[in-house]
Structure 1
Amino acid sequence: MSKSRRFLRQMLTIARRDFVATVFTPIFLLFLFAPVIMGSFGAIGGLGAQSAASGSIERSRVVAIVPDPLARPMAEADTRLRGAFREREEAPAELMTLRAGADPAAQARAAFAAHDYDAAAVLFGPLDRPHILYGPRADRAARYLELLAQTTLAAQQLGGTMPRVDAIKVETARARASTGGRNQSAFLAVFGIFFLTLFLAGQVVGTMAEERNNKVIEVLAAAVPLEAVFGGKLVGMFGVAVLFVGFWAAVVGQIGALMPAGFAAGLSEIAPAVGGPTFALLFCAYFAMAYLLLGSVFLGVGAQATTMREIQMLSLPITVLQVGMFALSTAAASRPGSGLAQFAEMFPLSSPFAMAGRAANSPTLWPHAAALAWQALWVVIFIAVGARLFRRGVLQSGSAKPRWRMARRRRRAIDTGVS
């Protein structure tokens, strides 16, 4: 058996050992259903926030203090303008009209102190030069009242009603993906890989802590090369991640089949430049490379920790690193072809994120083959460096200095002895 085949067999043996030890445990079920638990807590918090927000929205009003003859035309203009908003879009607050008294300005100020409603903005005065008072973060409501006054005045000048326009509306499909759709695809690709690696790759840090404490790692290091141990553990944990992603992909796929047709039509606008099937393959490839790259770094760093406390202290810098790669790749995806995008695509830890965004923005395929080879090279480098540091720093085997420095030292000793 060749040396490379023996190394691969040893690495796969370690991977199978770690995969079985992780998956065939009751704790794995908790890990598998962790998104449900997290989603439940998020849903509870979201429902509470939504109920509080809906209560404030129901009480919010835009107020118009106008004479009685203008109340009905303004209500009709308000109905016409609100027809441009979709049901779930954030429309202005409900309109309330008050009869103008002797001092409309005092009425407007008093409207902000009312107990039965919350005034976002209040209009008073003549419609051609209205005065509008508005509260904090209600400038949009003030602009809506200005537009409402303009529409009401135009209808009044045209005899009380605005002319009716019967437009012929034809829904047209795009021949190619829009720029906005490609940008959305790029962001979703970067965010998807970031979320999966944030949730899954961080677990690699603690894979060697227990085996270091019970001395199993020394037995493994004596039986197989340490690089095979590191590579096998990384591949085994990646298998666990693939099982996790495959399970939830199947669940989400079944839920997606139950979505209404309008929801699917809305998703059709999110179209990557390379096409859907190719983009799906590239997304899977870049998720794998992002996991292996970050996992190899985390494995090498976590192998230096001796206790769970040290591993917990490593969690913060690891999270900061992942968020930094996400921010860099998101900025690169929003500016394709820029110097920042090229740097993000070349830097090893951000390359999978940035290249996934590039797949959504550019139809060219050959850079992806080069990027995957580049990323695979860095996976090998990170595993080799991590194993070397572990061998010298933890197992205390091997020279603590590079070979070239040791060779120079030996030559100097020989020269000194000769002289």
Structure 2
Amino acid sequence: MSDLRRSIRQTLTIARRDFIATVFTPIFLLFLFAPVIMGSFGAIGGMGAASVADGGGGDKSRVVAIVPSTLAAPIAAADARLRGGFRPDEAPPALLTTAPADDPARQAHAAFDDHRYEAAAVLYGPLDRPTILYGARGSRAADYLALLAQTTLAAQQLGGTLPTVAATKRPIVRGHATPGGRHQSAFFAVFGIFFLTLLLAGQVVGTMAEERNNKVIEVLAAAVPLESVFLGKLLGMFGVALLFVAFWATVVSQVSMLLPQSIAAGLHDLAPAVGAPMFAVLFIAYFAMAYLLLGSVFLGVGAQASTMREIQMLSLPITILQVAMFALSSAAAARPGSWVATFAEIFPLSSPFAMAGLAANAPALWPHLLALSWQLLWVAIFIAIGARLFRRGVLQSGSARPFRKRAKAN
């Protein structure tokens, strides 16, 4: 058997061993359904925040118009007309009209102390020169009251009502990707790879520490070159990540069929420059490269840790590194062709993120062939460096011959 075939076989044996040891355990089910658990906690937190907001008087917020009784009906009609242009969650607070007293200014100030409602903004005075008071976070409500006064005044000047416009609305589907759609696709590609690697790549850190504690790594190092051990473990954990992604991709693809037509039409505008099928292929390829690059770095760093405490201490710099790569690649996706984009596309750890964004922004395919080759080269470099550091620092065998010479000797 040739040296190359022996190395491949040893690597795949290690990968199969780690994959089976990870997947065929009850704990893997908790890992597989981790997004559901996190989503449940997020939903509980959102429900709690909503209940606090409701209990704090969010549904009692009002915009108050102190106007004569003859203007109550016209201003209410103008309010009903204007609210038709707002989404339910963006509409201003409900309108409350009240007749002016002897001192409207004092009455307006007193409205903010009324316990029956929470005044966001209060209007008083003539509609062509109104005075509007507003409290904290009430500037938009004040703008709405000014627009309401203008609409009511225009309706009065036109004989009491504004003309009705019967508009015909027809949705269209663009035949090509827009610049805004490409930029949004680039950001979602960067964020998608970042989220998946943040969720999945960190588990590589503890694989070597576990092997060190039970002394299995010494047996493996005696029978298999460390480079094969590192690559095999990395491929095994990548197989776990692929299983996780395949499971949730299937779930999301089925759920997306139930989305409302308006949301589905909005997603259609997120058209990448290289086309949806090629973009899907490149996204998978760059996710693989991002996982292998970051995983090889984490594997080499985590191999230096021997206890869970040391692994926990390594988690913070690892997370900071991932967030930094996400920030750099997001800036590159927002400014394609700039020096920031060029640096992010060349720097090994940010290259998969930035190139995924480039696939959404530019139609050329040849840069991706170069980028994938460049990233594979750095995966090999990081694995070689990690194995060398582990051999010298942990196994205390710094005088050992390099892998190439040991392979020839065998």
TM-score (ref. length: structure 1):
0.93
Deviation per CA, 1:15-39, whole angstroms, max 9, x where unpaired?
Answer: 0011011111111111111111111
Partner residue of 1:259?
259
Cα distance in 2, alignment partners of residues 307 and 355 from structure 1: 36
User: How does 1:47-66 map onto structure 2 within 5 Å?
Assistant: 47-55=47-55, 56-66=57-67
Tell me what 1:295 maps to: 295
Between the aligned partners of 2:154 and 2:40, the Cα distance in structure 1 is: 51
Q: How far, CA to CA, are the matches of 1:42 and 1:314 in structure 2?
A: 26
- CA-based RMSD: 1.6
Q: For 1:328, give the aligned amino acid.
A: L
2:82 — aligned with what?
Answer: 81
Name the residue aligned to 1:190: 190
2: CA distance, partners of 1:400 / 1:304: 18
Q: Give the C-alpha shift of residue 208 in structure 1.
A: 0.9
* Deviation of 1:251 (Å): 1.4
Distance 1:19 1:267, change over 3 A: same
Q: Judge conservation of contact 1:78–1:148 (CA < 8 Å) in 2.
A: yes
Inter-partner Cα distance in structure 1 for 2:95 and 2:183: 37
**Corresponding residue for 1:145?**
145
Cα distance in 2 for partners of 1:26, 1:257 equals: 31
Residue 400 of structure 1 and its aligned partner are, at CA, apart by 9.6
Q: Structure 1 CA distance, aligned partners of 2:397 and 2:197?
A: 33
The alpha carbon displacement at 1:63 in A equals: 1.0
Aligned to 1:355: 355
Greater Cα offset, 147-156 or 179-188: 179-188
CA contact (8 A) 1:124 1:131 kept: yes
1:61-210 map, 5 Å: 61-87=62-88, 89-210=89-210
Q: How far did residue 78 of structure 1 move?
A: 0.9
- Range with greater deviation from structure 2 (1-10 or 194-203): 1-10
Q: 1:99 to 1:18 in 2, by over 3 A?
A: same
Q: Tell me the secondary structure at the aligned position of residue 251 of structure 1.
A: helix
Between 379-388 and 121-130, report the one with greater CA deviation: 121-130
What letter matches 1:78 in structure 2?
D
Deviation at 1:258, TM superposition (A): 2.5
Contact kept in structure 2, 1:122 and 1:133, CA below 8 Å: yes
Distance 2:338 2:314 in 1: 33
Q: CA deviation at 1:291?
A: 0.5
Partner of 2:284: 284
SS of match in other structure, 2:64: strand
Question: 1:54, CA displacement in angstroms?
Answer: 4.4
Residue 6 of structure 1 deviates from its aligned partner by: 1.6
Distance (Å, rounded) in 1 between the aligned partners of 2:177 and 2:162: 38
Q: 1-side partners of 2:47 and 2:267: how far apart?
A: 25
Q: What CA distance in whole angstroms lies between the structure 1 residues aligned with 2:177 and 2:103?
A: 56
How far is the alpha carbon of 1:51 from its aligned partner?
A: 2.7
Q: Distance in 2 between matches of 1:143 and 1:400?
A: 75
Q: Is the 8 A contact 1:57 1:93 kept in 2?
A: no
Q: Aligned ranges for residues 275-354 of structure 1 at < 5 Å?
A: 275-354=275-354
Please list the CA deviations of residues 51-98 of structure 1 after superposition, one character each: whole Å capped at 9, or x if unmatched: 3334543111111111111111111111111111234x4111111111
Residues 378-417 of structure 1 aligned to structure 2 (within 5 Å): 378-399=378-399
Q: Percent identity?
A: 75
- SS class of match (1:267): helix
SS in structure 2 at match of 1:161: coil
Contact 1:234 1:295 in 2 (8 A): yes
TM-fit CA distance, 1:130:
1.0
Which residue is 2:371 aligned to?
A: 371
TM-aligned CA deviation for residue 141 of structure 1: 1.1
2: distance between equivalents of 1:345 and 1:355? Answer: 6
Once residues 72 and 61 of structure 2 are traced to their aligned partners in structure 1, the CA distance between those partners, rounded to angstroms, is: 19
- Residue 119 of structure 1 aligns to a residue whose secondary structure is strand
In structure 2, how many angstroms separate the alpha carbons of the residues matched to 1:260 and 1:148?
Answer: 33
What CA deviation, in whole Å up to 9, does each residue of 1:170-208 have, x standing for no partner?
322212122222222111111111111111100000001
Deviation at 1:401, TM superposition (A): 12
- Rate the CA distance shift 1:66–1:242 in 2: closer, same or farther, 3 A: same
Question: Which letter does structure 2 place at the counterpart of 1:371?
Answer: A
Q: Go from structure 1 to structure 2 and tell me whether the alpha carbon gap of 1:54 and 1:268 turns closer, same or farther (over 3 Å shift).
A: farther
Distance 2:258 2:127 in 1: 50
Give deviations 1:132-179, integer Å, cap 9, x for gaps: 111112211111111111111111111211122223333222121222
CA distance in 1 between counterparts of 2:355 and 2:11 reads 28
Aligned amino acid, residue 199 of structure 1: L
Aligned-partner Cα distance in 2 for 1:35–1:193: 16
Match of 2:27 in 1: 27
Distance in 1 (alpha carbons) for counterparts of 2:373 and 2:172 = 41
Segments of structure 2 that go 5 or more residues without pairing to the other structure are 403-410
Q: 1:259 Cα shift?
A: 2.4
Shifted more, 18-27 versus 47-56: the winner is 47-56
CA contact (8 A) 1:299 1:386 kept: yes
Counterpart of 1:268?
Answer: 268
For the residue of structure 2 that corresponds to 1:208, the secondary structure is helix
Query: CA separation in 1, counterparts of 2:167 and 2:155?
Result: 19
